[in-house]
Amino acid sequence: MTFKIATIEGDGIGEEVVKEALKVITAAGVDFQATKFNLGAERYLKDGKVLPENELDALRKFDAIMLGAVGPPIGSTDVPAGLLERGLLLKLRFSLDLYINLRPFIAPKGSVQEDADFAVVRENTEGTYAGEGGLLRQNTPFEVATQGSVNTRFGVERCVRFAFQLAMKRRKHLTLVHKTNVLTFSGGLWQRTFDEVSKEFPEVKTAYNHIDAACIYMVEKATAYDVIVTDNLFGDILTDLAGAVTGGIGLAASANLNPEKTGPSLFEPVHGAAHDIKGTGKANPLAAIKSAALMLDHLGEETIAQTITDAVTVESQILATKDLALTTSEIGDRVAERVANANNSN
């Protein structure tokens, strides 16, 4: 079967890292056909379009979407704040019902939390990201802004259940992260749902951390984590921190999943467009390559996915310990070679 993959290279280093990810899955022998979608800041500046309906409809027909990075250079005022985030990235997450944002971390030796190996399951369609709220009396001394957090029983339950299922495939330990001592309404819903769903998974050991405490554990003993489940905003913040202590954001991969596969899922590195290093060869493609591995896993190619993940882990270890000054494409070549060799020896 030929996988139909849509690519949204986006802006800045997006194109460079997606290219390496495709190089690696080609080396792995994956049968696929890639189709480019020109979306992001550059496209917006060209014709004022962020994500036209017909392009969204076209994307629905693919097996998966690979995204590089979207965003204008920092400090640029040409693209209104939030336009691409809400109009493109979040629009895709919501329209395609990508309700899980799965972010696995494996820390190489030498990183702050070396040997940590855990995954964050971030709810991806609700919380403060849902867009609830508004402004009153804007630009007056009496301006009011509200930004609510939307938490539905249905949305929380499907996310929590996914996290338990993932924990069953891993070390059978799941930590709920929230702020139930202050956010008693949303936190209460999360905690009750978590406790109820946990009864379906008696083998999974559970724990609870407040988000602030989780930040301390993340930099002091992240090795204790196996799977973490949390809401959209806490997950956003915690996974940047997790990236920073497990080898850097250049390694952090993510899968925006529609687990029921009623449409394509979207795979992207956690990092941004990094316009400052575009074209310098300094972009680390490992996060994009690892995201491609998450894609193959979702598409049912678990063995190839594992081979690629292992190759990335080995390569990230080498990059962390040896000063090889490798370029983006050299790193891609090395991972591709490792993957091809692993295939040949099987």
Q: Which residues bind Mn ion (CB under 5 A)?
A: 236
Measure the CA–CA gap between 46 and 329, rounded to whole angstroms.
28
CB-wise, 96 or 342, nearer to ligand IPM?
96
Q: Assess contact for 273 and 12: CB atoms under 8 A.
A: yes
3-state percent breakdown (helix, strand, coil) of the chain, nearest 5? 45, 20, 35
100 binds, among Mn ion, ligand IPM, none (CB under 5 to 8 A by kind): none
- Let me know how long the chain is: 346
24 is in the binding site of which of Mn ion, ligand IPM, none (Cβ under 5 to 8 A by kind)? Answer: none
Active site residue 195: no
Q: Looking at beta carbons, which residue is closest to ligand IPM? A: 85
Sheet holding 227-230, edge to edge: 32-36, 3-10, 64-69, 265-269, 253-257, 100-106, 117-123, 227-230, 173-178, 205-210
> Which residue, 28 or 253, is less far from ligand IPM as judged by CB?
253
User: Of 171, 172, 159, whose CA–CA distance to 201 is shortest?
Assistant: 172
Shortest reach from residue 106's CB to Mn ion, in Å: 19
Contact of residue 85 among ligand IPM, Mn ion, none (CB under 5-8 Å per partner type): ligand IPM
Pairing of strands 117-123, 100-106: antiparallel
Is 31 part of the annotated catalytic residue set? no
What does the binding site for ligand IPM look like in residue numbers (CB under 6 A)?
85, 89-90, 236, 270
Is residue 286 within 8 Å of residue 315, measured between CB atoms?
A: yes
23 assigned to active site: no
Q: Is 240 a catalytic residue?
A: yes
Nearest approach, Cβ of residue 102 and Mn ion (Å): 14
Our answer to whether residue 323 is catalytic in this structure is: no
Partner from Mn ion, ligand IPM, none contacting 89, C-beta within 5 to 8 A by type: ligand IPM
Cβ 332 vs Cβ 23: under 8 Å: yes
Closest distance between ligand IPM and the C-beta of residue 85, in Å? 4
Q: Which residues are catalytic?
A: 129, 179, 212, 236, 240
